[in-house]
Chain A
Amino acid sequence: MTQTAGAMTAHKIAFQAEKLSVSYGSTMAVKDVFLDIPQNQIVAFIGPSGCGKSTVLRCFNRMNDLIPSAKVEGRITFKGQDIYDKRVDAVELRRRVGMVFQRPNPFPKSIYQNIAFGARINGYQGDMDELVERSLRDAALWDEVKDKLKASGLSLSGGQQQRLCIARAIAIEPEVILMDEPCSALDPISTLRVEELMQELKQKYTIVIVTHNMQQASRTSDYTAFYNAKATDQGGKMGYLVEYDRTEVIFQQPAQQSTQEYVSGRFG
């Protein structure tokens, strides 16, 4: 039932997941995912809660390494290299693959330091003021904060905080940005701003976004992966990838019945 999207040959591949399974302790959270993430495209992960969307997303920058019980099986390559290879440094990988979280999590530092921190840690040698300004502009936040760069990042509104987190992520010039429901804590106007922003970022970055919002997925993404969960023999549930294709295919003529039901809203 798992498959990779057709017509993907038109783009270079950023990530390639093969038979990816993740378990927490003894429970399998998501099983046998095959998935190609094309470069400079936006890929949306949709599906009901608990079907493993965040879990799969966290594999791409090895954030799962930080969860002691998590175990990743299968193979993921990033631009051809196996990222779970022993020789790959997860810290270095995360510099190339940035992440924006569900709840905005700016550091309790000034707006300026929120951006400069990652750059400094990663040994940025250029003009820091210029980098901070450019990142904030790219994240469509500059005009709102340019007069208060010394204010705490926590003093901003939720929507601004999330754009600060996006600015922080792009400041270290990653190749990919992973976004885990970046708009779920935001109001509709802030959500719209982040979506517009994604269209701009697409020029430079590959974006993978988890979203619960069908309109958001269909409006913003080029490819959509639909995940679902099924009951296991042990009484738990296990996520799997149902269908992955171009977004218009998923939303207009999906191959699977359950995808059809989910995208049209007739689904638990």
Chain B
Amino acid sequence: MTVQSPTTQSQSLWRPNRDRSRLIQSVVKFICGAFAAVSIVTTLGIVATLLFETISFLQEVPIWQFLTDRKWTPLFASKEFGIFVLVSATVMISVISILVAMPLGLLAAICLSEYATPRTRKILKPVLEVLAGVPTVVYGYFALLTVTPFLQTFLPNLKGFNSISAGLVLGVMITPLVASLSEDAIYSVPQRLRDGAYALGTTKRETIVSVVLPAALSGIVSSLILAVSRAVGETMIVTLAAGANPTLGLNPLVPVMTMTAFIVQVTKGDAVHGSIAYQTLFAVGTTLFLITLALNIFSFWFVRRFREKYD
């Protein structure tokens, strides 16, 4: 039996419309490119505005004053611009929240990926993601109207607005984020690593602690950093529960003002375009942006440095 080469006759049955595919191809490419360009241009626009207004701000207020003043009173007659007053509040609340979210989120992630049956996991995982979608204003009122009064029963010094209840509730809010992303990282550790550990005579707990968690470390750390970024940028809970009283220091029992809460305050008021209050808004925005950027760069570096490649 010999193989027939295609005859001219059978070739005439195949008439691909190459021109049309090429045209469609280039149109699709153009549309995708345009959408990508829109998002890049928007981002660049935001960064440019932030920088532009911040530079104007720094012409009015020298940077050392911005960094060393011990009060934050840009809207008063005697103005002081100590950004660390706001930064300290943001950092304190974020730290409290991650102290809550890290243990809760990691334990939930470990339970889900290592101990739950596949069925339980399939049900609980989406529930977790729904939890992450509860509106933050609900959390804010919960902190203000439920958690603070409850804490006041054994912390008599606790003010009505304070960092601790904002931080605790914020921690609960970002827990699903930590749990869900860490769970992905833990679940994707190859089974053969676990088998390798069990074959050496390790218990389940030893396998998880000594092999699975270290192998998932880069994913876990990046989930924590994402959660911290989320906490730093979170606005509603801190505005409602932590107050609007710029206070330098790390006392979690008194009202404070975070960077985001300040931005809300000024945006709600009537800051005149070009006024110092208006420019302060952008200076704070830039600071917030730089903190988040630093966190993301760290996360990027950490993941690149510590990610294990399993082919």
Partner of B193, one of A61, A93, A96, A107: A107
CB neighbors of B among A86-111 (8 A):
91-96, 98-99, 101, 103, 105-109
Interface flag for B23 (CB, 8 Å)? no
With a CB–CB cut-off of 8 A, which chain A residues contact B214?
A: 107-109
Also in contact, A107 and B196, with CB within 8 A (given A117-B210, A121-B210, A154-B308):
yes
Interface flag for B201 (CB, 8 Å)? yes
Interface flag for A42 (CB, 8 Å)? no
Interface flag for A169 (CB, 8 Å)? yes
With a CB–CB cut-off of 8 A, which chain B residues contact A152?
A: 308
Also in contact, A122 and B201, with CB within 8 A (given A101-B192, A117-B210):
yes
Q: Is the CB of A94 within 8 A of B200?
A: yes
Partner of B195, one of A63, A96, A109, A121: A63
A101–B203 CA distance with the chains assembled, in angstroms: 19
Interface flag for A189 (CB, 8 Å)? no
Partner of B196, one of A92, A101, A121: A101
Interface flag for A136 (CB, 8 Å)? no
With a CB–CB cut-off of 8 A, which chain A residues contact B215?
A: 107-108
A66–B204 CA distance with the chains assembled, in angstroms: 10
Q: Is the CB of A63 within 8 A of B201?
A: no
Q: Is the CB of A172 within 8 A of B196?
A: no
Q: In whole Å, how far is B51's beta carbon from the nearest beta carbon of chain A?
A: 41
Interface centre among B195, B198, B211, B308 (most CB of A within 10 A): B198
Q: Is the CB of B200 within 8 A of A118?
A: yes
Q: Is the CB of B200 within 8 A of A105?
A: no
A121–B196 CA distance with the chains assembled, in angstroms: 13
Q: Is the CB of B202 within 8 A of A63?
A: no
Q: Is the CB of A165 within 8 A of B196?
A: yes
Interface flag for B272 (CB, 8 Å)? no
Partner of A172, one of B198, B200, B211: B200
Interface flag for A168 (CB, 8 Å)? yes
Q: Is the CB of A66 within 8 A of B201?
A: no
A169–B197 CA distance with the chains assembled, in angstroms: 10
One digit per residue, 1 when the CB lies within 8 angstroms of any chain A CB and 0 when it does not, for chain B 275-311 equals 0000000000000000000000000000000001110
Q: Is the CB of A154 within 8 A of B200?
A: no
A108–B210 CA distance with the chains assembled, in angstroms: 10
Partner of B200, one of A68, A95, A103: A95
Q: Is the CB of A98 within 8 A of B203?
A: no
Interface centre among B117, B190, B195 (most CB of A within 10 A): B195
Q: In whole Å, how far is B291's beta carbon from the nearest beta carbon of chain A?
A: 31
A107–B192 CA distance with the chains assembled, in angstroms: 10
Also in contact, A108 and B308, with CB within 8 A (given A101-B192, A101-B196, A121-B210):
yes
A103–B191 CA distance with the chains assembled, in angstroms: 12
With a CB–CB cut-off of 8 A, which chain A residues contact B194?
A: 66
With a CB–CB cut-off of 8 A, which chain B residues contact A165?
A: 196
Q: In whole Å, how far is A152's beta carbon from the nearest beta carbon of chain B?
A: 8
Q: A108-B193, A121-B201, A169-B199 are in contact. List 10 more A-B contacts (CB 8 A).
A: A63-B195, A95-B201, A101-B199, A105-B190, A107-B211, A108-B308, A117-B211, A121-B200, A121-B206, A165-B196
3 tightest Cβ-Cβ pairs between the two chains A and B:
A95-B201, A118-B200, A99-B199
Task: Spell out A's residues near B (CB within 8 Å).
Answer: 61, 63, 66, 68, 91-96, 98-99, 101, 103, 105-109, 117-118, 121-122, 152, 154, 165, 168-169, 172
Task: Spell out B's residues near A (CB within 8 Å).
Answer: 117, 190, 192-203, 206, 210-211, 214-215, 308-310
25 contacts between A and B (CB under 8 A): A61-B199, A66-B198, A68-B117, A91-B201, A91-B202, A92-B201, A94-B201, A95-B200, A101-B195, A101-B199, A105-B190, A106-B196, A107-B214, A108-B193, A108-B215, A109-B214, A117-B200, A117-B210, A118-B201, A121-B201, A121-B206, A122-B200, A122-B201, A152-B308, A168-B200
